[in-house]
Amino acid sequence: MQYRTLGRTGIKVSPYALGALMFAPSVGNPDPDDTARIIHKALDAGINVIDTADAYGGSEEVVGKALKGRRDDVVLATKVSRPMGDDPNHQGASRRWIVTAVENSLRRLQTDHIDLYQIHRPDPGTDIEETLSALSDLIRSGKVRAIGTSGLPASDMVEAQWVAERRGLARFHTEQPPYSLLNRGIEREVLPVAQRFGMGTLVWGPLGQGLLTGRVRKGQENELRRARFVQHLNDERRLDVVERLISLAGQAGLPLTHLAMAFTIAHPGVTSAIVGPRTMSHLDDLLAGIDVALTDDLLDRIDEVVPPGTDVGTLDQAYLPPAVQQADLRRRPVAQRSGS
């Protein structure tokens, strides 16, 4: 296992990180004991990063229990800001919620510190100085070692770095964006900005949320494609590209999963790619390809299928800023449009 430095933190991490969403009994593996075996096997194989979140329905509890006796072997990452109930103040990146949420995560994870505490999604309603101030206090208290973001647009990443410098606050050490053979948009700005400011990146969705496993094919019906929360699996544009990538992987003598993972961690701006196995067999398949390296010729051929810096469709869980989501931010008032 060739370890990499997580930004400028000095923390050494594996090129694969273990994502814990599928460890939530309500979402993925319903057997915590089986999940613990998966976690232990990943650690034994050299993976030393586990990434979870308070919003991953029970995942933190499962991870905390599984790490008993092995906590010091793990770079433990979790997140805050997604809704944790109906109370409007039990979400977001305000100081009020962060100082409460971190205590809840520490309790569920059965630990006294979090190695990487991340803002799960941007919170446009909270001033970034407010967020960084609260996170800086958590670092000084020893409850958090490093801080990061997830889904932050490049312009917001720059703003956060500037605010941290001007106000003497802790700066974000990492960003967690989506990245895969199908979604290369972050190559335009997010990855260059992360590299410019010395930030590490833990990219999610390297298997296209299931599309790059080879189990979802054009013209074939299966359980995955019927799931209501994975509409992207029915995107014909993405399915067409997957067929081309399957052919390319076959010509290279590689399973599609190994091609996809090797592509993701080949980018110099990527620190680790988050894998989310639900079963031991899923983990075994991913571990079998951890040493695969792609040739420049093969990377060039991938560029011909999906040009650098482009996305094929969108992921269902990709962050959309208010400027895109809210119509009133994209349209002048009627009176101004009519010229009156």
Give the active site residues.
Answer: 56
Report, in angstroms and rounded to the nearest whole number, the Rg of the chain calculated over CA atoms. Answer: 20
| Ramachandran angles phi, psi of 130, nearest 5° | -60, -45
**Interatomic CA distance for residues 266 and 261, integer angstroms:** 9
**Which tokens in the block code for residue 38?**
């998966």
**Interatomic CA distance for residues 304 and 298, integer angstroms:** 10
**Interatomic CA distance for residues 126 and 284, integer angstroms:** 42
List the Cα angle 6/203/223 in 5-degree steps.
150
**Interatomic CA distance for residues 31 and 35, integer angstroms:** 6
Residues 205 and 179: beta-carbon distance below 8 Å: yes
Element (H, E) at 50: strand 49-51
Q: Which residue has the tokens 């994209």?
A: 330
Residue 316 has, within 13 A of its CA and on its CB side, a CA count of 14
| Ramachandran angles phi, psi of 11, nearest 5° | -80, 130
